[in-house]
Chain A
Amino acid sequence: MKHLPAPLIAVLMLTACTERIELDLGDLADPKLVVEGWITDQPMKHRVKLTMTRSYYANEPAPVVSGAYVRISDGDQTIDLQEDPIGSGEYWTPDGTAGEVGRTYTLTIESAGETYVASDHMRPVSPIDSLAITYIEDQEEPEPGRKPRYEVRVWTQELPGVGDHYRWVQTINGVRNDSLNRAAFVDDVLYDGAYVQGVVVDVVHVVPGDTVRTEQMSITGEAYDIITAILTETDWRGGPFDPPPSNVPSNVSNGAFGFFGASSVKDRTVVVQ
């Protein structure tokens, strides 16, 4: 709840118009490493992606960082990540690697003579007791080629004690969409210890027969702050109450951008009726 309710902003901006403009922004002098990586308690291949920053108007994908030495440690053991394919900037743990709730994971990257370190703690998350995908009544006819809108509702116990943060990610017919602007995030400041009864966590475009898998993930307060900061600087910009533009914090040392996070995951799958 960092933002004012969208309907209010919508009304205030009723008469607002926008137009594209040309602005000379100059060039970024000193490119820096960008880290994007997560480890969860699910046995799988976990990915760390390394790229570089660019000038704002670069208008092409970020240059990847290849040939780095990347490893993750839980304090007891260390796993090396392999770049695959070579030259992709994507580094993977061996298949079947699973984190453990309660441990702190430290990512170490050695690249171009510099060392970067980031760590995050894996917090518990409660199971989804029930999951419902419900049709939104009175909706307009979907655009051609677009499926109608359904709400994703979850029933779950919020863990007692303020300080829990959640993220939900949907996989529809096997396609997982974890881009930040598609995912739902919340902290428990207003909901501490509540039994969550059918709260809408997302809206998806599906038809009966589609399969929806919802992952309920724990994230740390630091991850929550960084993710909301990213959205504040991107998708959420444009309202009358925007805070001053500021750089998004990072949990990676040595001046690098990005975030390495740890999550525990509970999931449930339903077929849309």
Chain B
Amino acid sequence: MLIAHLIVAQAQFTVSGHLKDGSTGEDLIGATVNVSGTTTGSSANFYGFYSLTLPAGEYTLLYRYIGYAPLERKVVLDKDIVLDIELSDAATDLKEVEVTGRAKDANVQDVQMSVTRMSMEQIKTLPAFMGEVDVIKALQLLPGVQTTGEGGSGLYVRGGNVDQNLILLDEAPVYNASHLMGFFSVFNGDAIKDVQLYKGGIPAEYGGRLSSVVDIRMKDGNAKRFSAEGGVGTIASRLTLQAPIKKDKGSFIISGRRTYADLFLKFSADEVRRNSALYFYDLNAKGNYTLGAKDRVFLSGYFGRDVFKTEGFNVNWGNATVTGRWNHIYNSRLFSNLTVFYSDFDYALGSDDETTAFSWNSKIRNLSGKLDYNYYVNSSNSLKFGYQLIRHTFVPGIISGESEESVVTGLELQNSRALEHGVYVSNEQRIGTRITATYGLRGSMFQNIGAHDVYGYDAGNNVRDTTAYGTGEVYNTYMNLEPRLGLRYALNEVSSVKLSYNRMAQYIHLASNGNQATPFDIWFPSSPNVKPELADQVAGGYFRNFHENRWEASMEVYYKDMTNAIDFRDHAQLFFNDNLEGELRFGHAWSYGAEFLVRKQEGRFTGMLSYTLSRAERKIEGINDGRTYRAKYDKTHNVSITGSYELNKLWRVGALWVYQTGGAATFPVGRYEYGGQIVPIYSERNAARLPAYHRFDFSITKASRKNEGRRWQSEWVLSVYNAYLRHNTYSINFRQDEDDPFTTYAEKTYLFSIVPSITYNFKF
């Protein structure tokens, strides 16, 4: 009996292949395949590859993806088979009847918790500021994500700081995701396919940041036919072209966006304005080619820049990333991907004033190689393992005089170089029908490399000595083991509970002292003086789907503990300072909260309700007299409600309401006079609060009438930001009355009242 059982168990075969969109050939990341009527199944990886190993037999496989019509296939599994599947967009075929297929129930079934995937289609249904569809702004609506206020494309995830997010565009980190100081993000919606935010239980394949991973994947390009789409907006225009290189074999996409407000300056009567510039642009390009049944290569790049110029002064900044990838399928159960990427963020400031002309350049640059394997061991186990090496180069600042007369003699801050290694293995295991576990371990290592002069500090943070290290010398090494665990227990078909734990290590940090992150913030590495930041997070949740999985709901609680947390001494000098490490203060930070999410992703009505109750605090020696204080982004309550409704084939309305407790702020209690100024005296840092922030936005979209046989489609979008004209507080400052210098008063700054915009979009 036992022998017979073993023989049966050994007779296992694998069905594998790629899951694609039927009309464009795009890989469907995360699309699922199940043995019909069971929970046995698999999902497509980032390259659309899936693999499902089953005992020999006849099966009906059900392929599903959100927003797509499900597809059933009967297979006879008496050998390994390759089955590439194309799903068709439910929107084109099935919209009239409320989608018949069931939504993917990953919310309940997946072991991964604290993750949200958003498709660009969903993001595009939200009202957008100035009509510019914005990935980061959409993520800010999710539970567990805080912002610092109006504008601002910083993400503060579960009490983590803005530099604790690993923002990846085709696997290359993007060091500054904002345009125009954060009013827009660098991700052009037309070029993006898929966005995932991990805020807890972070998988072992990711490392290097404490609080979240934002994994953004660009479209591969239409592999079926040439297509174009674009738009003319209030501040920017966009154009995207896609075409097959060879039908179903390879394709490319090229997508650009540029703002043009400054073009009007050229017509200005004022000479200064005529010579001014203020714009940003983004260019995304990607190509892929299938070399055979087993190999496929990709090359993608992003280039974006902000430029601001006025008489005597200019500044620009931008990111560049280039990613090359090679997928190789060893066999139906072993998939590999090799990635090589380059990422660069730089900024330059300059003045051409004759006596003080100068230029200031700064950059951070990465070069990395990364090899990842997915090994689908059997129907119960799937293994991931891999290795990544990143070479970091930091050039914090080179300042030089730019003219003969210039008084600026210049200053070159020390460059830093470092290597960051990550090696990981993790397994996802099904244990019976109810339990799925994922357990993994990541080992990370960080090495500082000379040439570099390292300062030693005394108890008062003054430089005590300097140690010089030679070129290429590894002068400091840190290592950390980062366990990652996840557990799911299915209560029944529609509900489950999940638990997770992760430890994360972070070796590069951002010197950002202001209320808003800015492009001029400085990235710096861990070093003998700066220990790696570490975070331990535990999270638990209850997940339930309703109404045949059309509605998803979840409730999660988390606690995160962060050691070697970094803050900056009072009145820290972060610019032009070769002794930046002397401005740092170290301590302990922690955060906890509860998050609630209900969302509906399919059908004529889609929407989301998100609520977060949270706290983020820190205790750092030398700041606030060593007492505990709130993080500036500590906001007790945070609510987002979004909805989009398709009235008919022509009209769609979208709406968005957000409410947040005001950010933590420091107000004065006393004052004194010095040099004609009335100087405030503060008591506790961040003990006060700004007024609550709330806002209502809506959008109305009118599509063109669809003609059979005509590919041209267009739509007009009216977006209204801050529809009820609330003067949301951007900051509160304390001022001296100009007429009566002994009178002081509080003054609120707000950025916008109502901001309407109109955008015209087309595609063919």
> Residues of A at under 8 Å CB distance from B?
1-2, 4-5, 7-8, 11-13, 15-23, 25-29, 31-32, 34, 36, 51-62, 153, 158, 178-182, 189-200, 225, 227-235, 237-238, 240-249, 257-259
Contacts and interface: CB of A to CB of B under 8 A. Distances in A.
A36 B674 CA distance: 6
A11 B676 contact: no
A241 B736 CA distance: 20
A195 B736 CA distance: 38
A126 to B, nearest CB: 13
Contacts of A179: 675-677
Contacts of A192: 409
Contact of A244 (B575, B666, B672, B676): B666
18 contacts: A5-B351, A8-B313, A11-B308, A16-B749, A18-B747, A18-B750, A53-B671, A53-B672, A53-B681, A190-B409, A194-B409, A199-B356, A225-B571, A228-B571, A234-B736, A246-B570, A247-B681, A258-B672
B672 A62 contact: yes
Interface string B566-604: 001011110110000000000000000000000000000
Contact of A237 (B351, B672, B733, B752): B733
B77 interface: no
Contact of A238 (B310, B407, B518, B731): B731
Which 9 A-B residue pairs are closest in the complex by CB-CB distance?
A179-B676, A28-B670, A246-B570, A180-B675, A241-B514, A245-B666, A34-B672, A23-B746, A53-B672
Contacts of B405: 197-198
Nearest to B755: A15
B672 A257 contact: yes
Contact of A235 (B355, B570, B677): B677
A154 to B, nearest CB: 10
Contacts of A62: 672-673
Contacts of A231: 677
Given A191-B408, A247-B682, A249-B571, A18 B677 contact: no
B732 interface: yes
A41 B679 CA distance: 28
Contacts of A190: 358, 399, 408-411, 576
Contact of B355 (A5, A27, A198, A242): A198
Contacts of B570: 229, 244, 246-247, 249
B673 A34 contact: yes
B680 interface: yes
Contacts of A26: 669
A180 B677 contact: yes
B742 interface: yes
Contacts of A7: 310, 313
A240 B748 CA distance: 13
B631 to A, nearest CB: 11
B484 to A, nearest CB: 34
B672 A181 contact: no
Interface string B717-744: 0000000000100111110100000111
Given A5-B313, A56-B668, A246-B682, A17 B727 contact: yes
Question: Which residue of A57, A195, A225, A232 has the most chain B CB atoms within 10 A of its CB atom?
Answer: A57
A25 B670 CA distance: 9
B745 A20 contact: yes
B315 interface: yes
A28 B669 contact: yes
Given A58-B671, A237-B733, A244-B685, A19 B748 contact: yes
A7 B313 CA distance: 8
Q: Give the size category of B's interface with A.
A: 35 or more
Nearest to A26: B669
B349 interface: yes
Contacts of A238: 731, 733, 747, 749
A222 B19 CA distance: 66
Which of A199, A200, A259 counts the most B-chain CB atoms under 10 A from its CB? A199
B632 interface: yes
A21 B278 contact: no
Nearest to A34: B672
A199 B571 contact: no
Contacts of A19: 727, 747-748, 750
A181 B746 contact: no
Contacts of B674: 34, 36, 180, 230, 257-259
Contact of B571 (A22, A194, A229, A257): A229
B378 interface: no
Contacts of B632: 244
B678 interface: yes
B120 interface: no
A16 B520 CA distance: 21
A179 B736 CA distance: 14
Nearest to A9: B181
Given A18-B748, A28-B669, A57-B744, A234 B679 contact: yes
User: For B669, B670, B678, which residue has the most chain A Cβ atoms within 10 angstroms?
Assistant: B670
Contacts of A16: 730, 749-751
Contacts of B681: 28, 53, 56, 247, 257
Contacts of B573: 2
A240 B518 contact: yes
Most chain A beta carbons < 10 A, residue from B575, B672, B680, B752? B672
From A13, A17, A246, name the one whose CB has the most chain B CB atoms within 10 angstroms: A246
B676 A180 contact: yes
Interface in B669-708: 669-682, 685-686
Interface in B391-428: 399, 401, 405, 407-411
A231 B676 CA distance: 11
A248 B749 contact: no
B667 interface: yes
A17 to B, nearest CB: 6
B722 to A, nearest CB: 12
Interface centre among B409, B571, B632, B667 (most CB of A within 10 A): B571
Nearest to B405: A197
Contacts of A232: 571
Contacts of B752: 15
B275 interface: no
Nearest to A5: B313
Contacts of A178: 675
B178 to A, nearest CB: 12
B8 to A, nearest CB: 67
Contacts of B727: 17, 19
Contacts of A181: 675-677
Contacts of B673: 34, 36, 51, 61-62
A256 B672 CA distance: 11
A16 to B, nearest CB: 5
Nearest to B737: A59
Contacts of A21: 732, 746-748
Which of A31, A232, A245, A248 has most B Cβ within 10 Å?
Answer: A245
